[in-house]
A = this chain, B = another copy of it.
Amino acid sequence: MADQHDVLDDSAAVMPFPAQTPPAPYYAVIFSSARTDGDNGYGAMADRMVELARDMPGFLGIESVRDELAGAQGRPGITVSYWSSLEAIREWKNQSEHLAAQKMGREQWYASYHLRIAKVEYDYGFVR
């Protein structure tokens, strides 16, 4: 839509923001994270993960925002990806490159994170 914004934090991949999802129900993976200092290969890997996720079965969309200015507070970020089913989420979690990225995340990139899997029951949008 012309009135919507194409943006993705940490990524060259252009995705609509807010994500344009089909009618509910569908699933959301809410990933809230605080980054460690420096890049350490994170940006390139984040781009690659979006590329990979888009090609997974059941992928519906992704929204990602990080506040790079809140440096003293660990650069908080929220990424929400949307999926057609729990099975699609499971397949994505177990994708081989994604597994390697998850390991790097725990070893290097994240000071902390919390991941929540949720079923979207109702939604609505507004465009000026």
Contact = CB atoms under 8 A, between A and B. Distances in A.
A112 B17 CA distance: 9
Nearest to A106: B126
A85 interface: no
Contacts of A116: 21, 24, 28, 120, 122-123
A114 B18 contact: yes
Q: Which of A7, A18, A36, A66 has the most CB of B within 10 A?
A: A18
Interface in A51-81: 63, 65-70, 73-74, 76-78, 80
A69 B70 contact: no
A111 interface: yes
A128 to B, nearest CB: 5
* Among all A-B residue pairs, the 10 with the closest Cβ atoms: A18-B114, A118-B118, A7-B73, A18-B32, A116-B123, A114-B125, A5-B74, A78-B78, A118-B120, A112-B127
Interface of A: 3-7, 9, 17-19, 21, 24, 28, 30, 32-34, 36, 63, 65-70, 73-74, 76-78, 80, 106, 110-128
